[in-house]
Chains A and B, each alone.
Chain A
C-alpha cells in the first residue's frame, strides 16, 4: 500500500536529502512544501499520511505548523527533521504533537530507525 508523504523544508537541497534517505523498499507518493503555509495547504488536501517537517522556515515555521494542526485537532504522524538540535526544541515539538525528532544531517539509517520504532515501515 502506498504511503502519502509530505516533505516540508524551505531548502530544496534538504528536501532532496530527505528523499534520498527514505528506505528504498518503502512505497511512497511524495509531495513537497517549501514553508509552513504551503505545508498546511497541502496537509488539508490529504497528501500526508506522514509529514517530515523542518522547524526554521520563512512565512510560518515548523512550530507554527504543529500548533495549527494541534488546534484543528487533526490526526497526524509528524516527524520533525531539524538542524535546531537543542534538547528543548525536541521537547517543544513533542508537546505540540510531533511523534519523533531527527537531527540533521539526515541519513537512511536514522530515518529507518524512527520509521520502524513507530511501526510505519
Chain B
C-alpha cells in the first residue's frame, strides 16, 4: 500500500466518512422501503482503502462468494469521481419481482430492467445523501449492467482497472421475511481521495 494514500486518510477521516456514509445509507434505505413497501434492515458501513490487485479478495471478504450476483454500475463525477455498484444476490430476485408485482416467470430482459431501476434508486439516494452533507452536487451516468449472475470474485478483472488505489465503501440492505439482499459499493479512486480528505476536514470544522 502506498504510504501517500495511507497518510491522506487518518483514523478521524475514516470515522467521519463512516458516519456520513451511514446517513447516506439511511436515505437509500428509506427510498427502497417506500418503493417496495417493506421495512429494510440496514448494516453498519464498512470502509477500506484497497489496491486494484487486491480488490477481488477484499470484495469476497465484504460480500462473500457463496451466491451469484448481478451488478449494476453507475459513475458519478464533477467534484468527486467514482462509481456506485449495486450487487443483487440472485436468490432474492424473485422476492424483488414479487414486491414489484412482476410476473414469476419474467424473462432476463425484464429482470435486467428491474435491477437497473432498483440499482439506480439505491446508488442515487445513497451517493446524493453523502454529497448533500458537503453541499456538493454530482452528475451521474445512466446505470448499466456490470455483470449478470456471476460470483463476486469474477466481477472485476484487476488487469483492466484504470486505477491503482480505491476507497471502497460497503453498505447492505436486507428485508425481514424475504431472501432479498443487496450490497452497495461506492468506490472513489486516487484523484478523489485527496479532495475527499479535505472535504471531511471542512465538514468536521462545524463540530
Which of B15, B19, B26, B43 is in CB contact (< 8 Å) with A85? B26
Which of A20, A57, A104 is in CB contact (< 8 Å) with B26? A104
Size category of the binding interface on chain B: 20 to 34
Please, which residue of chain A has its CB at the minimum distance from the CB of B43? Answer: A56
Given the contacts A56-B42, A57-B44, A105 and B23 also touching, CB distance less than 8 Å: yes
Q: Is A68 an interface residue (CB 8 A)?
A: no
Q: Which residues of A contact B204 (CB under 8 A)?
A: 13
Contact with B along A51-95 (1 / 0, CB 8 A): 000001110000000000000000000000011111111000000
Q: Which residues of A contact B19 (CB under 8 A)?
A: 11, 13-14, 17
Please report whether the interface of chain B is mostly helix, strand, loop or mixed according to DSSP: helix
Q: Is B102 an interface residue (CB 8 A)?
A: no
- Do residues B26 and A11 form an inter-chain contact, with CB atoms below 8 A? no
Given the contacts A11-B18, A86-B33, A20 and B207 also touching, CB distance less than 8 Å: yes
Size category of the binding interface on chain A: 20 to 34
- Do residues B44 and A56 form an inter-chain contact, with CB atoms below 8 A? yes
Q: Which residues of B contact A105 (CB under 8 A)?
A: 23, 133
Choose among A10, A11, A82, A88 the residue with the greatest number of B CB atoms under 10 Å from its CB. A11
Listed in ascending order, the chain B residues whose CB lies under 8 Å from chain A are 12, 15-16, 18-19, 22-23, 25-27, 29-30, 33, 39-40, 42-44, 133, 204, 207
Known: A58-B44, A84-B29. 13 other contacts (CB 8 A): A11-B22, A13-B204, A20-B207, A56-B22, A83-B27, A83-B42, A84-B30, A85-B30, A86-B33, A86-B39, A103-B26, A104-B23, A105-B23
Listed in ascending order, the chain A residues whose CB lies under 8 Å from chain B are 10-14, 16-17, 20, 56-58, 82-89, 103-105
